[in-house]
Structure 1
Amino acid sequence: MSNSSPYELLGGEEKIRALAKAFYQAMDKTTEAEEIRQMHAKSLDQVEQRLFEYLSGWLGGPGLYHEKHGTVCLTSPHKPYQINADHRDQWLLCMDKALEEIGASTQVKSMLKEPMFRLADFIKNV
């Protein structure tokens, strides 16, 4: 396996932007994700941009979120919501669908499986 980051393996900025878009499209279309979809505004444009910025840095690319918003704190924006294990699993389902949608390789999906779980699990607050 190479030393390339997931950001590079996924295809850089264009693919990370596509991943964020596919994630929220999956959330919009997946009945199993209705609960987490209801936690979001009607328009997903702003949160999609923020996810793109966050994933860019988290996956090993430019730290866009940090540059634009300062510190990267995942708990504060999610504090108003009661997020449980079911919500975590809904998020992960949407991310799996998004990775599939953008044609992520088996290697990248495998590489991201555990870190994505830890990321989603960290957000739980109930």
Structure 2
Amino acid sequence: MTEKLPYGTADASFQAAGEYEGIKQLVDDFYTVMSSIPEAKTIRDMHPDNLEESRDKLTRFLCGWLGGPKLYSEKYGAIRIPVAHRHLDIGPAERDAWLACMQIAVDKQSYHADFKDYLMKQLYVPAERSRNKD
């Protein structure tokens, strides 16, 4: 029997998220939530009308960020979260709206409860790093 690695070790988080297809589903649910709840209007308006590239970028980023293949850099090059978002006005309210959308999307997934908790705690880091105003 193979021992399960802790989340954040090797590709354990990538595996727990369902690999590429599971992460893609999470991202699809995330953007559906962002496009449908009034609390997210401000952050939805920061995105293009067509979310195809946004979905692709976030899916690819999360794959690598969760310990899987570095799909974002293969297609788009290196990412530095603060630089990628500096053209947007992102304060605590926008960060929190993004996290609220992600929480709803995470809750829709069939992930283990402990992974859902772990993932949301970890997602605070890039969300906060995107913030560029008080």
Superposition TM-score, scaled by structure 2 size: 0.88
Could you say which residue in structure 1 is the equivalent of 2:108?
Answer: 101
Could you say which residue in structure 1 is the equivalent of 2:4?
Answer: 2
Could you say which residue in structure 2 is the equivalent of 1:18?
Answer: 25
Deviations 1:20-49 (A, max 9, x none): 111101100111111100111111111000
1:62 aligned to which of 44, 69, 73: 69
What secondary structure does 1:62 align onto?
Answer: coil
Q: Does 1:78 align with 2:85?
A: yes
Dislocated runs of 4+, deviation >4 Å: none
What secondary structure does 2:35 align onto?
Answer: helix
**99-108 vs 51-60, greater mean Cα deviation:** 99-108
Partner Cα separation in structure 1 for residue 75 and residue 63 of structure 2: 12
Which letter does structure 2 place at the counterpart of 1:18? Answer: Q
Partner Cα separation in structure 1 for residue 102 and residue 43 of structure 2: 13
- Count of paired positions: 126
Deviations 1:30-70 (A, max 9, x none): 11111100111111111000000000000111110011122
Which letter does structure 2 place at the counterpart of 1:25? Answer: T
Which letter does structure 2 place at the counterpart of 1:2? Answer: K
Deviation at 1:14, TM superposition (A): 0.8
Structure possessing the higher relative contact order (Cα contacts under 8 Å, 6 or more residues apart): 1
Q: Does 1:48 align with 2:55?
A: yes
Larger Rg, first or second structure (1 or 2): 2
CA RMSD of aligned residues (A): 1.4
Could you say which residue in structure 1 is the equivalent of 2:132?
Answer: 125
5+ residue gaps, structure 1: none
Superposition TM-score, scaled by structure 1 size: 0.93
Q: Does 1:34 align with 2:41?
A: yes
Report which of the two has the higher share of helix: 1
